[in-house]
């Protein structure tokens, strides 16, 4: 009986392996949350991610590095210059022709233009700045750039998405494409859209980036997580953004 | 450095009941968690919150280690007169976060 079930399961997986979520069926992770957590995200006074955005605003205007320049010295007010920026990252960095995500772009700006040391991944400062920049795109559609140079990296990301990992031997797609809406233990399986990052996760009691969340999932299937800032994560982020194209940005998201 | 978000209407009608919402940034370290060396991280929580209008106390709360990080407090106020509303959070290290907002009652 079990064997039959297993064979049936494997066949289903094989048949639906290339299946993607239809655009009309896409749902943000927020829709899988309880009404109270949704309310927490919607109200800017109760959403703890807004505290990070508030700190990010201070950092935006604070001079840093040997040039003594702040982000605002070049970019001006973020509500104009950063509008829609987070919705199109990761993007190609012109001087290296390699893709960078928003966190990486902020650190490149620090080292190239401010002559400041890069901020550590998952540090309070980097998450705060990223949240503040991404907040300026809230409500705007995710719009991955139409740039052919990104295609090989996006394809790498999709391969990783479908690649089985870890002792449990699961791919991302097996849960988030094929079985979203069902439950894993008591937790609903969402569709894994990246439109609310950085998020305030109640389990973490703090902010975290998309890469931290991806590492979390990898540890969950007992795989060795990729390193912060690794090429694999940038590729996955690229694929996830193209998969969520058109969905509204909701940074800072709150997640259970 | 603690930071706070406060939602209080700038204007209220006399006799109106207004809702005040506050969110403060604080790790609320319980004192029960070990660090990666196995040593307990000392307790550091906000233990007291006070709200005053022109020095007159309108709301206060004692907080304990079971509170989440970044505590969110909401309470109501019967608007009787205009004044300056002071919000004050005190933590275990004696650090005080204070914010002020104007309230106009017409």
DSSP assignment string, B49-91 = EEEEETTEEEEEEE--TTSPSS-EEEEEEE--S-EEEEEEEEE
- Minimal CA separation from B90 to chain A, in Å: 18
CA distances (Å), origin A87, targets A75, A127, A145: 17, 16, 9
Number of domains forming the structure of chain B: 1
| CB-CB neighbors (< 8 A) of B6 in chain A | 45
| Confidence at residue B1, expressed as pLDDT on a 0 to 100 scale | 47
Tell me whether residues B5 and A202 touch, CB distance under 8 A: no
The CA–CA distances, whole Å, from B64 to A46, A255, B25, B71 equal 20, 24, 16, 11
pLDDT at B7: 94
Per-residue pLDDT tens digits for B51-94: 999 999 999 999 999 999 999 999 999 999 999 999 999 999 99
CA gap A196, A215 in Å, rounded: 17
Which tens digit of pLDDT belongs to each residue from B18-29?
999 999 999 999
Average pLDDT over residues A168-192: 95
- What is d(CA A245, CA A255) in angstroms, rounded to the nearest whole number? 21
CA distance A122 to B66: 25
Mean pLDDT of A108-118: 95
| Residue to test with chain A: of B4, B21, B24, B25, most A Cβ within 10 A | B25
Please tell me if residue A204 touches chain B, with a CB cutoff of 8 Å.
no
* Residue A9: per-residue pLDDT: 47
pLDDT band, very low/low/confident/very high, at B47 (cuts 50, 70, 90):
very high
What chain A holds in terms of domains, given with CATH numbers, is 24-43+142-255 (1.10.760.10), 49-135 (1.10.760.10)
CA distance B91 to B28: 9
Confidence of residue A7 (pLDDT cuts 50, 70, 90): very low
Q: Nearest-CA residue of chain A relative to B69?
A: A205
Chain B contacts of A43, Cβ < 8 Å? 21
For residue B32, the domain's CATH number is 2.60.40.10
Contact: A48, B21; criterion CB under 8 Å? no
Chain B residues within 8 angstroms (CB to CB) of chain A: 3, 5-7, 21-23, 25, 27-28, 68-70, 72
Q: Which residues contact A68 (CB under 8 A, 6 or more apart)?
A: none
* d(C-alpha A171, C-alpha A140), whole Å: 30
- Quick check: B69 and A48 CB within 8 A? yes
- Domain residues for the domain of B38 are 4-105
Q: Which residues contact A18 (CB under 8 A, 6 or more apart)?
A: none
Of residues B5, B21, B28, nearest to A51 (C-beta): B5
Go through chain A and tell me how many residues it has.
256
> What is the reported pLDDT for A164?
96
Task: Name B88's Cβ contacts closer than 8 Å, sequence gap at least 6.
Answer: B49, B50, B51, B52, B96, B97, B98
Quick check: A46 and B23 CB within 8 A?
yes
Q: Which of A12-26, A36-50, A99-113, A177-191 has the lowest mean pLDDT?
A: A12-26
pLDDT in tens, A216-243: 999 999 999 999 999 999 999 999 999 9
The answer to whether residue A45 neighbours chain B at the CB level (below 8 Å) is yes
Nearest by CB: A45 against B3, B5, B25: B5
Q: Indicate the range of A8-12, A57-61, A84-88, A199-203 predicted with least confidence.
A: A8-12
For position A23, what pLDDT does the model report?
86
Strands A183-184 and A98-100: what pairing?
Answer: unpaired
8 Å CB contact between A104 and A234? yes
Asked if residue A168 has pLDDT above 90, the reply is: yes
Mean residue pLDDT of chain B comes to 93
CA distance A93 to A199: 25
Pairing of strands A199-201, A206-208: antiparallel
Alpha carbon of residue A256 to chain centroid: 16
Nearest chain A alpha carbon to B70: A48
In this structure, are residues A126 and A119 in contact, taking their beta carbons and an 8 Å threshold?
yes
Identify from A39, A46, A202 which residue to disrupt to test chain B contact, counting B C-beta atoms within 10 A and taking the largest count.
A46
**Cβ–Cβ of A50/B70 closer than 8 Å?**
no
Mean pLDDT of A35-62: 95
Provide the pLDDT for residue A11: 43
Using CA atoms, how far apart are residues A125 and A62, in angstroms rounded to an integer?
12
Query: What is the 8-class DSSP label of residue A113?
Result: I
Confidence grade of residue B2 (pLDDT, cut at 50, 70, 90): low
Rounded distance, CA A254 to CA A245, Å?
Answer: 20
Mean pLDDT, chain A, whole residue set: 92
Question: DSSP label at B24?
Answer: E
CB contacts, 8 Å: B5 with chain A: 44-45, 50-51, 54
Chain B residue with CA closest to A206: the answer is B69
pLDDT score for A18: 59
Nearest to A50 among B5, B27, B69 (CB): B5
Helix axes A102-109, A124-135, angle to 10 degrees: 110
**Cβ of A36 under 8 Å from any chain B Cβ?**
no
Q: Which of A43, A44, A51 sits opposite B70 (nearest CB)?
A: A51
Q: Touching check for A54 and chain B: CB below 8 Å?
A: yes
Q: Give the DSSP per-residue string, A136-184.
A: TTTTSBP-----GGGHHHHHHHHHHHHS-BTTTTB-HHHHHTTSTTSEE
């Amino acid at each position: 009986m079990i064997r039959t079930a297993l064979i049936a399961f494997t066949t289903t997986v094989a048949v639906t392996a290339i299946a993607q979520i239809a655009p009309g069926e896409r749902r943000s992770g927020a829709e899988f949350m309880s009404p109270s957590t949704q309310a927490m995200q919607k109200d800017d006074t109760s959403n703890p991610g807004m505290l990070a955005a508030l700190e990010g605003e201070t950092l935006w205007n604070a001079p840093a590095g040997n040039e003594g320049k702040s982000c605002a010295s070049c970019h001006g007010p973020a509500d104009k210059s950063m509008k829609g920026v987070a919705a199109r990252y990761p993007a190609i960095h012109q001087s290296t022709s390699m893709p960078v995500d928003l966190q990486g772009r902020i650190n490149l700006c620090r080292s190239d233009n401010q002559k400041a040391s890069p901020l550590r991944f998952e540090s309070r400062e980097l998450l705060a700045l990223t949240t503040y920049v991404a907040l300026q795109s809230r409500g705007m559609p995710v719009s991955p750039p139409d740039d052919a140079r990104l295609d090989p990296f996006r394809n790498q990301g999709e391969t990783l998405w479908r690649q089985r990992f870890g002792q449990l031997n699961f791919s991302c797609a097996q849960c988030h494409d094929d079985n979203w809406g069902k439950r894993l233990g008591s937790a609903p399986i969402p569709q894994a859209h990246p439109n609310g990052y950085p998020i305030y996760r109640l389990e973490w009691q703090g902010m975290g980036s998309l890469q931290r969340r991806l590492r979390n999932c990898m540890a969950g299937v007992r795989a060795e997580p990729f390193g912060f800032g690794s090429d694999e994560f940038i590729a996955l982020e690229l694929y996830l953004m193209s998969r969520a194209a058109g969905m509204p940005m909701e940074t800072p998201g709150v997640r259970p | 450095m603690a930071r706070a978000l406060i939602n209080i209407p700038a204007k209220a009608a006399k006799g109106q009941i207004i809702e005040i919402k506050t969110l403060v940034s604080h790790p609320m370290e319980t004192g029960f968690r070990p660090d990666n060396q196995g040593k307990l991280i000392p307790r550091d929580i906000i233990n007291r919150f006070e709200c005053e209008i022109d020095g007159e106390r309108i709301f206060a709360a004692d907080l304990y280690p079971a509170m989440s990080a970044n505590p969110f407090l909401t309470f109501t106020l019967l608007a009787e007169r205009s004044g300056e509303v002071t919000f004050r959070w005190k933590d275990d290290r004696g650090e005080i976060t204070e914010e002020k907002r104007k309230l106009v009652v017409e």
